[in-house]
Structure 1
């Protein structure tokens, strides 16, 4: 089972759940109004992605419409979902990097904050097949050692899933393997039917799902004859890793100037201490001044 915790609970309650299971469901994460606004903002892009592919069958994963560059295309997704303090605090806890370097005999403590790795809305429709179970930190060539106890610094990726509708088995709720974030890199044993230890992360509207990049998971099969399942998805990576989506090439400086300081920093408009990601030997935020 996936632990379900009301967002009014303590930060430590969410940390404990994620260390144990690699994931957690947040009850009461957002509002129906915010979900409606986000849907209105992404719908033209979802429609365009289907139109460009010719049919839902030709879209991503055999039946999934998409809105990429979500941070720039939906103000609601950017400011209400991605910028949510609970998600940001969990990201800081799990994938911040802090180290001490020496300049002669003087120590300097440096911190590298998370960067947004990808932001995308996925809208699964009839014909969408189940994904094979996988870890999302594969893109960063992460290596894992089997352990019985979680240690901070083990992960480099943390994801947030905000559903635009109730999600359940029939409409392809994400299949997850709680506890698999503690596994090593050996071939996983999912049993003869491929479902050993697998549960569906069923969500209600206004819930959200947060998972570590080392958790085995995969979108489920959309078996209904009609309708769709919309999910707004964000992943942040450690600040010293390359982002999956390269938003700094797609958002203009004038556009970025309208974003909050938090979003600017997460996009990479602030260098990672001590000297990673500069322009003209300065933190790139000076370009926004």
Structure 2
């Protein structure tokens, strides 16, 4: 079972839930108006995704339309969903990095803030097959040691899923294995039917799902004959890791200049201290001035 927590519980309640289960549901994440605005902004790209696939069932996984480059194509997704203070605070806690560096006999504390790794809207439709259970930090070649107690610094990815509709088993709600973020890298035991410990992360509109990159999960099977399941998805990675989506090729600098300072920083237009990601020996934010 996934814990459902309201914002009023405070940041620590969410931290505790993620440390225990590898995931949590934010009950009061957004509002219906924002969801409607985001849908209007991404719909042309979802429609184009279907048209480009040459099939009524869409592109990814045999039945999913997509809107890539989401933070650039939806102002609502960028400034309200991705920039949400609770998600940002959770990312700073779980994947932000702080270290001490010695220069001779003088110590300096340096911080590396999270980066946006990927932003995408996925619209699953009839014919969409289930994904095999996996960890999203596979792209970073992460390794995991089995543990009974979570330790900060174990993860490098934190995801946010914002559904545009209610999600449930029949429309392919994400299947998850709570607690699997504590597993090692041995072959996982999902039982003879492949569903041992697996539950459906069913969500209501206005809720959101947050998960660590080390959690085993996978999109479910869309078994309904009509309709679709639209979810806006964001992952942030540690500031010292390569981003899955290449932001400097995805978002024109003139557009980035119009984004909030937070989003600019999360796209990588601010170096990771002390000296990672500079241009002309300076933090690249000067190029946005």
TM-score (norm 1): 0.99
Aligned length: 289
- Larger mean Cα displacement after TM superposition, 49-58 or 85-94: 49-58
SS at match of 1:243: coil
Backbone CA RMSD of aligned residues = 0.6
Which residue matches 1:284? 284
- For 2:168 and 2:240, locate their aligned partners in 1 and report how far apart those are by CA, in whole Å: 36
SS at match of 1:223: coil
Asked if structure 1 preserves the Cα contact closer than 8 Å seen for 2:58 and 2:65, the reply is no
Report the alpha carbon displacement of residue 141 of structure 1 after superposing the two structures with TM: 0.3
Report the alpha carbon displacement of residue 56 of structure 1 after superposing the two structures with TM: 3.6
Deviation readout 1:85-133 (Å, 9 max, x if unpaired): 0000000000011111111111111010000000000000000000000
Which residue matches 1:220? 220
Gaps of 5+ in 2: none
Asked if structure 1 preserves the Cα contact closer than 8 Å seen for 2:162 and 2:209, the reply is yes
SS at match of 1:8: helix
Question: For the structure 1 residues 8 and 235, does the alpha-carbon distance in structure 2 shift closer, same or farther, using more than 3 Å as the test?
Answer: same
Which residue matches 2:254? 254
Which residue matches 1:190? 190
Which residue matches 1:139? 139
SS at match of 2:76: helix
Report the alpha carbon displacement of residue 140 of structure 1 after superposing the two structures with TM: 0.3
Which residue matches 2:167? 167
Asked if structure 2 preserves the Cα contact closer than 8 Å seen for 1:175 and 1:199, the reply is yes
- For 2:108 and 2:115, locate their aligned partners in 1 and report how far apart those are by CA, in whole Å: 22
Which residue matches 2:244? 244
SS at match of 1:158: strand
Which residue matches 1:44? 44
SS at match of 2:102: strand
Report the alpha carbon displacement of residue 58 of structure 1 after superposing the two structures with TM: 4.8
Asked if structure 2 preserves the Cα contact closer than 8 Å seen for 1:181 and 1:212, the reply is yes
Asked if structure 1 preserves the Cα contact closer than 8 Å seen for 2:49 and 2:58, the reply is no
Report the alpha carbon displacement of residue 7 of structure 1 after superposing the two structures with TM: 1.9
Report the alpha carbon displacement of residue 174 of structure 1 after superposing the two structures with TM: 0.2
SS at match of 2:211: strand
TM-score (norm 2): 0.99
Which residue matches 2:78? 78
Gaps of 5+ in 1: none
Which residue matches 1:115? 115
Which contiguous aligned blocks of 4+ residues in structure 1 show a shift greater than 4 angstroms? none
Which residue matches 2:91? 91
- For 1:270 and 1:58, locate their aligned partners in 2 and report how far apart those are by CA, in whole Å: 37
